[in-house]
Copies of this chain bind each other. A is one copy, B any other.
Amino acid sequence: MSKPIYTSSADAEAAFYDALARSDLDKMMSVWAEDDEVVCIHPGGPRLVGLAGIREIWRQMMGNGVRLGVEVSQAVVTGNALMAVHSVFERISIDEARRRSPLIAATNVYLRGALGWRMVMHHASPVPEGNPVADLAPRIVH
């Protein structure tokens, strides 16, 4: 089965979070670039470099076919014609758990290549509840 071609970083990101919510490992890996230097860091986890390790961690996370609740919000996007950086907040909840899941900041970087837009970096880490967006100076509220 040939991999889908994502025609924008937004398409690739939608596929990434859909794959996560559905525990769809093949779809998840279709989002990643076939590059030795792809990097994935889960909250509190080690740095994973390369597709084999990244596939393995997702396989472990998805292995039991769990359905996840995935909320993505407050995207800040920058980039150019060949790359995009998406900064988002995530809340990932397991199955029907009603308790509030921790707030995670994720940095997702996509490159545009011959096969469309693909992820080269996912870096996720917890941010403080209550003040996830900095409130250091009035000027930064925009």
Contact = CB atoms under 8 A, between A and B. Distances in A.
A136 interface: yes
Contact of A134 (B36, B47, B111, B142): B47
Interface in A35-89: 35-39, 41, 43-50, 52-53, 56-57, 60, 76-83, 85, 87, 89
Interface stretch (A13-21, A91-99, A118-126): A118-126
A140 interface: yes
Contacts of A140: 48-50, 52-53, 56
Contacts of A133: 46-47, 49
Is chain A's interface secondary structure helix, strand, loop, or mixed overall?
Answer: mixed
Interface size class of A (residues with CB under 8 A): 35 or more
A123 B76 CA distance: 13
Interface in A114-142: 120-121, 123, 125-128, 131-137, 139-140, 142
A48 B111 CA distance: 23
A127 B49 contact: no
Given A82-B83, A87-B39, A131 B52 contact: no
A107 interface: yes
